[in-house]
């Protein structure tokens, strides 16, 4: 390696001088412009390599008015759920040679909408909004300003806009139907945050499956939560305390399902022999826990990938009109569910 002076900044003009060409030519070499003689290209390339040239992103962005960076707004990190989505986003951005700027909601809880509208302006070419809480606050502004964005995992209960979600209703329906087919008739349900479309859809899917199978709804079997693990614990406790307790508990996400598993075990009951437990999401941990959790798989990683592709599409052709996409959920049967043991036995 003959790197000359790695610490001092080597710009395009240095390269031009040393290569005996003009700025324009160097730029053309960098950007693979056709209009440059093979011989020149090679010579300039060699000089760049030797000098350890690295393009200045700000200058490039300033001139070209695109940053090759996309912003991702997440509520927090550290959950398997977000982790999976991020993985998908990250993978797809990697192949497209984009970088990722991370914004977390907890950091600027108050002025979130303003933040999205202003701060981000000029720093990123587009925005991926993961699990937005009240997207109506910004989707209007963003649409109006023609700023490219895609929502991930939020029910478009307002104006239609580019979004990626999963078939929550169908997933919950299938899972409930599966429990019924196993022989369960009293199935407890722990909801998610009912202000989220995903949560209401799952509840509706559950109810629909009961109805279709001619099982009457029992309000005492439905217990409200907000997607956090401790509510799975307390919810399951409440469900086990009613007169005719359920033989299966369907939690609206895996975190609550794991809380429910703990509650069931704390009562000295066995899973799945005494109580079946079913979750939603299929976070990586669901397969690692014992017994492994039967759950409705949301293709989280894929959702991240698809959303990213949509956004890149949008960047490429801003006039393109994209709408909500729903990816299919899938029931993953593992060890936490089985037929109820015979009551008479």
The contact set with a second copy (CB under 8 A) reads 6-7, 54-59, 61-62, 67, 69, 72, 76-84, 86-87, 90-91, 94, 99-104, 106-108, 118-119, 121-123, 144-146, 229-230, 233, 258-259, 262-263, 265-266, 284-285, 288-290
What is the Cα 41 distance to its own chain's centre?
A: 43
x/- contact string, 12-31, with DNA (CB under 7 A)? xx------xxxxxxxxx-xx
d(CA 176, CA 311): 34
Residue 35's binding partner out of DNA, a second copy, none, with CB under 5 to 8 Å set by partner kind: DNA
Beta-sheet strand order (sheet of 276-281) = 222-223, 187-190, 248-251, 276-281, 294-297, 330-332
Strand partners for 115: none
Shortest distance in whole angstroms from residue 131 CB to a second copy: 14
Choice between 8 and 216, CB closer to DNA: 8
Angle formed by the axes of helices 300-316 and 80-95, to 10°? 40
**Residue 123 touching DNA (CB under 7 A):** no
Choice between 22 and 114, CB closer to a second copy: 114
Residue 80's binding partner out of a second copy, DNA, none, with CB under 5 to 8 Å set by partner kind: a second copy
Residue 146's binding partner out of DNA, a second copy, none, with CB under 5 to 8 Å set by partner kind: a second copy
Residue 20's binding partner out of a second copy, DNA, none, with CB under 5 to 8 Å set by partner kind: DNA
For 277, 296, 336, the CA distances from 333, given in Å and listed in that order, are: 11, 8, 8
Q: Tokens 């960098």 sit at which residue?
A: 30
Shortest distance in whole angstroms from residue 65 CB to a second copy: 9
Residue from 59, 77, 95, 288 binding DNA (CB under 7 A): 59
Residue 123's binding partner out of a second copy, DNA, none, with CB under 5 to 8 Å set by partner kind: a second copy
Helices (H), 136-216: 136-144, 168-182, 197-212
User: What is the rounded (10 degree) CA torsion for 153, 173, 334, 165?
Assistant: -10
Spatial CA neighbour of 246 closest among 208, 211, 277, 290:
277
Q: Tokens 């956004």 sit at which residue?
A: 311
Where does this chain bind DNA (CB under 7 A)?
A: 9, 11-13, 20-28, 30-31, 34-40, 53-56, 59-60, 62-65
């Amino acid at each position: 390696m003959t790197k000359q002076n790695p610490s001092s900044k080597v710009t395009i003009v240095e390269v031009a001088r040393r290569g005996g060409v003009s700025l324009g030519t160097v730029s053309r070499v960098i950007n693979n412009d056709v209009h440059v003689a093979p011989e020149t290209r090679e010579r300039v390339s060699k000089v760049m390599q030797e000098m350890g040239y690295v393009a200045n992103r700000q200058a490039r962005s300033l001139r070209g008015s695109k940053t090759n960076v996309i912003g991702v707004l997440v509520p927090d990190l550290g959950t398997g759920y977000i982790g999976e989505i991020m993985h998908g986003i990250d993978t797809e951005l990697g192949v497209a040679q984009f970088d990722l700027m991370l914004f977390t909601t907890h950091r600027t809880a108050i002025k979130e909408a303003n933040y999205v509208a202003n701060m981000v302006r000029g720093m990123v070419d587009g925005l991926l909004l993961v699990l937005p809480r009240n997207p109506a606050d910004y989707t209007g502004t963003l649409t109006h300003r023609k700023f490219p964005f895609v929502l991930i995992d939020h029910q478009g209960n307002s104006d239609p806009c580019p979004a990626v979600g999963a078939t929550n209703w169908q997933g919950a329906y299938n899972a409930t139907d599966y429990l019924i087919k196993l022989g369960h008739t009293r199935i407890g349900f722990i909801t998610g945050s009912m202000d989220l479309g995903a949560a209401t859809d799952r509840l509706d899917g559950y109810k629909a499956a009961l109805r279709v199978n001619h099982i009457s709804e029992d309000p005492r079997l439905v217990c409200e939560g907000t997607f956090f693990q401790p509510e799975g614990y307390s919810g399951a406790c409440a469900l086990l305390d009613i007169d005719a307790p359920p033989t299966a508990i369907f939690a609206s996400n895996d975190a609550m399902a794991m809380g429910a598993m703990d509650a069931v075990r704390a009562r000295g009951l066995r899973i799945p022999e005494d109580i079946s437990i079913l979750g939603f999401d299929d976070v990586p941990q669901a397969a690692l826990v014992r017994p492994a959790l039967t759950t409705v798989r949301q293709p989280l990683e894929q959702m991240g990938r698809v959303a990213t592709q949509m956004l890149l599409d949008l960047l490429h052709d801003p006039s393109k009109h994209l709408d909500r996409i729903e990816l299919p959920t899938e029931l993953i049967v593992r060890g936490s569910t089985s037929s109820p043991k015979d009551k008479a036995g």
